[in-house]
Each structure stands twice: as C-alpha cells, then as structure tokens.
C-alpha cells in the first residue's frame, strides 16, 4: 500500500497507522528522491517514541509498533511539523483515513 501511494503521489512522505487490540502499528514511506533529506527510519522513530514504541527500517520504508493508542492522534499531527522542518520545498498535506476492525 505504501509503495502504491508513493508511486501515485511522487515526491512524498507517508505515515500510516492503525490500532488493533490497543496496540499501535505504524509504517512510513519516503519517495527515493527525498531520502537524501529524510530517512523513513528517523521519521518512524520520532512517531513511535510518542506512542511508547520503537521501530526501524530502510531509508525509504520503516515500520514500528507502540502501546499508547491514546497518544496516536498527537503523534500523527507532529509529522507535519517534523516534515516541514526537515524537507524544504516539499508540499505537506495531511490526510486522515479510517480503518475498520473485524471480529472473528
């Protein structure tokens, strides 16, 4: 999904998050042309720290987990400011998506 979004959006930084059973899952993607300024692992680390977690990955893709779902909205909101400080001349758009949880 992140690769598809990167292909559609061009120069971009993406952070996706979900909460399931009280645990936060995060994934960050950075288009190749931006990795000289922003590393997905640094970005995901900043977000994960705010939700009581940690993570890592490649310069263009990283994953993390956390335990503080209540802190997720503020953590995601901080991405815009972090990106603006680290990526001059890249448009910063904030999108919010909804995910559904299915019981088995």
Read off the pLDDT band of 101 (50, 70, 90): very low
- Looking at residue 35, what is its pLDDT? 84
Dist. CA 29–CA 101, nearest whole Å:
23
Query: Residue 8 is encoded by which pair of tokens?
Result: 């559609």
Is residue 98 predicted with pLDDT exceeding 90?
Answer: no
Is residue 94 predicted with pLDDT exceeding 80?
Answer: no
| Mean per-residue pLDDT, 62-81 | 93
Dist. CA 20–CA 65, nearest whole Å:
11
| Mean pLDDT value across the chain | 81
Is residue 12 predicted with pLDDT exceeding 80?
Answer: no
Does domain 2-75 bear CATH number 3.40.640.10?
Answer: no
Q: Is 90 in contact with 79 (CB distance < 8 Å)?
A: no
pTM (two decimals): 0.79
């Amino acid at each position: 999904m992140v690769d598809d979004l990167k292909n559609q959006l061009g120069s971009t930084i993406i952070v996706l998050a979900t909460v399931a059973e009280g645990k936060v899952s995060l994934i960050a993607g950075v288009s190749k042309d931006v990795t000289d300024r922003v590393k997905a692992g640094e970005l995901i680390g900043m977000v994960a720290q705010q939700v009581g977690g940690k993570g890592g990955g490649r310069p263009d893709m990283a994953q993390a987990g956390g335990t503080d779902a209540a802190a997720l909205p503020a953590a995601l909101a901080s991405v815009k400011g972090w990106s603006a400080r680290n990526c001059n001349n890249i448009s910063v758009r904030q999108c919010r998506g909804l995910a559904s949880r299915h019981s088995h």
